[in-house]
Structure 1
Amino acid sequence: MPLPRPSCHLGKIYAEWSVEFEANPEMSLQLMRWVFEDWQRATTEPEGVTYATTTIGGVPGVLVTPVDADPSQVMVVMHGGGFALGSSASHRKLAGHLAKACGTHAFVLDFRLAPEFPFPAQIEDGLAVYQALLDQGIKADDVCFVGDSAGGNLAVAMTLTLRRDGRPLPGRVLTMSPWLNMENTGATIETNNDTDFLITREGLAGNIGRYLSGGADPTDPYVNPLYATYEGFPRLYVCAADTESLFEDSERLVDLAKNAGVDVTFSIGKGMQHVFPFQAGRLARADEEIASMAAWYRS
């Protein structure tokens, strides 16, 4: 049976990538990284937002500054890409739309990538930025950890690490299509295979191998937050598409957090693709999601 044709801009981009990946099964990791820089093509350039390449806490990245945004409110943005791909360049426009809607600044990290730097290097970089912000006088409650896909895993794991170490937690955590299951056993990887134009079990396995190449256990709760407990976790926002392969990860995270008494908002993009807010400025449903995130942030 032929696969359905993608009807949205993001789906078309993912389908184009998939054609190239299938045609070039031995594609190098460096070439894959160049392909994933194309992710930014899904997002329009937000108006009234400036960008500066800089470092915070010794970690490079892009500082996103919307006009009239409150500099005391900062989003720490962990980009997606399977821990091995993606960058501040691929995600700066998405961060710009989100920061503008929420009235905050944002810093999109270029954290160290796997497999050159396996777990926990990415978490260490995110927490170095967070500590530097606190040292600058930003209040912990005014920091929001943001992450999509693998970056959603990192945003959650960073918070769990802070809780373990008895350090102040951020006021909010916002995730988009978080990828959490490092055992690669999610049911929707199979059931949504024909409606997700990007994610495959084989692709996930490759990135798991890169991320855990240092020998980490795939059931370690700081690697796989589906094994964590969530008592005392900050306010949490989760959005995901019901037709994407990683949808079960979001469902399980929401259930775990709710059962621990966490204030959780779960937004489902019906018929959308993986990290559908990437289409901000191009698709009404993506703009609605950004607005929903902003309303949640301010509430």
Structure 2
Amino acid sequence: MPLPLDAIIANIIPLLPLRDPATMTPQSARDSLRALAEARKAVPPPPVDVASDIEVQGAGGKLAARLYRNGSGTAPTVIFFHGGGWVAGDLETHDRQARNLVIETGAVVISVDYRRPPETRFPGAFEDAFAAVRDVVARISEFGGDLSRVGVAGDSAGGNLAATTALACRDTGITLAGQLLVYPVIDVVGNFADPTENAKFPSRAENAEGYFLSRAVMEWFCGHYLANSAQGTDWRVSPLRATSLKRAAPAVVTTAWFDPLRDEGHAYAKALQAAGVPVAYHTGEGLIHGYFGLGDASDAARAEAQRARADFRVLLERGV
């Protein structure tokens, strides 16, 4: 039997934002996530030697980014994409996640502020993410300095961008040491509104509401990112629909048990394995979507996130 919902997280859920798609707007979603980050400032963020604002090249021009590192020697380099349903989230809301990546993997981390919908719809975020990776690889001496130890990482919508960018890298001859996909969005065919598509992933019904991220909110996010539902079949937003996953970068995939995205993340882990890709999979029992940001409150969340980052560190240290 899977573990029950973590008691501490159960008490946190009513305090979390992004739970009412009937009244939510893109700006209110952004404001609420930023407010949550601001409210946590009483707890000092994990310390790193460097946290400096920089720019990287996106598909349509320069993008704001933040570089984090400890030490000054050669190190792995990780390009990180924040979550927030493509619509919300930014460098500030995911600052702690980026810092923990540095501390627990030893990597130089570049967090990328890609363009968001509805101002820039699909495939804008994907194109920015891939352009940012190409730019960092081209300038690797300014970052970790080791082309054999480059990885991508992201949570939720950022996990979607990491997964699709990893496939684009494979197709263009950029060899990544690894990809860390944290409760990623993997298959948006049907925009989370089609009963037939939803039935393929029982977690969309089991965890449709009551555990922070709801299926209705995912439908709202998809409606803002995609100009029309037909775009959902494109592998650049639904990597599970890619023609082939062979030769994709080794992966660490995490899901949360009480998350509508659980089963598609698990399906992607299995599909990668079936294609011959090494995968470490973490089920996130007792946890909800977003638990990587709840480690200060929940021992269970912190431990599961640390296990995933430890596996990612192994991939980065091994290199290609």
Task: Please indicate the TM-score interval, normalised by the length of the shorter structure.
Answer: 0.7 to 0.9
1:296 and 2:311 correspond: yes
In structure 2, C-alpha distance between the alignment counterparts of 1:143 and 1:291, rounded to whole Å: 20
Alignment partner, residue 54 of structure 1: 54
Contact 2:150 2:176 in 1 (8 A): yes
Contact 2:287 2:301 in 1 (8 A): no
CA offsets per residue over residues 87-117 of structure 1, 9 Å max, x none? 1100011110121111111111110001111
Greater mean deviation of Cα atoms: 89-98 or 71-80: 71-80
Contact 1:74 1:143 in 2 (8 A): yes
**Residues 155 and 96 of structure 1: CA distance in aligned 2, closer, same or farther (over 3 Å):** same
Q: 1:222 aligns with which of 227, 236, 239?
A: 236
In structure 2, C-alpha distance between the alignment counterparts of 1:8 and 1:70, rounded to whole Å: 39
SS in 2 for 1:59: strand
In structure 1, C-alpha distance between the alignment counterparts of 2:5 and 2:28, rounded to whole Å: 26
Cα distance, 1:296 vs. partner? 1.6
Contact 1:6 1:197 in 2 (8 A): no
Q: 1:278 aligns with which of 293, 298, 308?
A: 293
Contact 1:76 1:106 in 2 (8 A): yes
Alignment partner, residue 206 of structure 2: 191
Cα distance, 1:60 vs. partner? 0.7
Q: 1:175 aligns with which of 171, 177, 181?
A: 181
Contact 2:126 2:165 in 1 (8 A): yes
TM-score by length of 2: 0.82
Cα distance, 1:118 vs. partner? 1.1
Matches within 5 A, 1:26-41: 26-40=23-37
Cα distance, 1:6 vs. partner? 7.4
**Residues 140 and 213 of structure 1: CA distance in aligned 2, closer, same or farther (over 3 Å):** farther
Alignment partner, residue 265 of structure 1: 280
In structure 1, C-alpha distance between the alignment counterparts of 2:7 and 2:44, rounded to whole Å: 18
What letter corresponds to residue 63 of structure 1 in structure 2? L
CA offsets per residue over residues 153-172 of structure 1, 9 Å max, x none? 110111112223x3213211
Matches within 5 A, 1:1-299: 7-9=7-9, 11-17=10-16, 21-22=19-20, 25-40=22-37, 45-57=45-57, 58-65=62-69, 67-68=70-71, 70-137=73-140, 138-164=145-171, 166-183=172-189, 184=192, 185=198, 186-193=201-208, 196-213=210-227, 217-228=231-242, 229-299=244-314
In structure 1, C-alpha distance between the alignment counterparts of 2:28 and 2:252, rounded to whole Å: 33
What letter corresponds to residue 257 of structure 1 in structure 2? L
In structure 2, C-alpha distance between the alignment counterparts of 1:69 and 1:290, rounded to whole Å: 26
Cα distance, 1:237 vs. partner? 0.2
SS in 2 for 1:241: coil
What letter corresponds to residue 241 of structure 1 in structure 2? A
Contact 2:188 2:233 in 1 (8 A): yes
Contact 1:69 1:103 in 2 (8 A): no
CA RMSD, aligned part only? 2.5
Contact 1:170 1:234 in 2 (8 A): yes
In structure 2, C-alpha distance between the alignment counterparts of 1:290 and 1:17, rounded to whole Å: 19
What letter corresponds to residue 257 of structure 2 in structure 1? D
In structure 2, C-alpha distance between the alignment counterparts of 1:21 and 1:287, rounded to whole Å: 23
In structure 2, C-alpha distance between the alignment counterparts of 1:60 and 1:218, rounded to whole Å: 27
Gaps in structure 1 of 5+ consecutive residues: none
Contact 2:295 2:301 in 1 (8 A): yes
Cα distance, 1:14 vs. partner? 4.0
**Residues 70 and 76 of structure 1: CA distance in aligned 2, closer, same or farther (over 3 Å):** farther
In structure 2, C-alpha distance between the alignment counterparts of 1:71 and 1:129, rounded to whole Å: 20
**Residues 122 and 191 of structure 1: CA distance in aligned 2, closer, same or farther (over 3 Å):** same
SS in 2 for 1:167: coil
**Overall identity of the aligned pairs, in %:** 22
**Residues 38 and 275 of structure 1: CA distance in aligned 2, closer, same or farther (over 3 Å):** same
In structure 2, C-alpha distance between the alignment counterparts of 1:37 and 1:241, rounded to whole Å: 23
In structure 2, C-alpha distance between the alignment counterparts of 1:255 and 1:121, rounded to whole Å: 28
Cα distance, 1:72 vs. partner? 3.5
What letter corresponds to residue 232 of structure 2 in structure 1? P
**Residues 71 and 82 of structure 1: CA distance in aligned 2, closer, same or farther (over 3 Å):** farther
SS in 2 for 1:210: helix
CA offsets per residue over residues 117-174 of structure 1, 9 Å max, x none? 111111221222212222223444311100101111110111112223x321321100
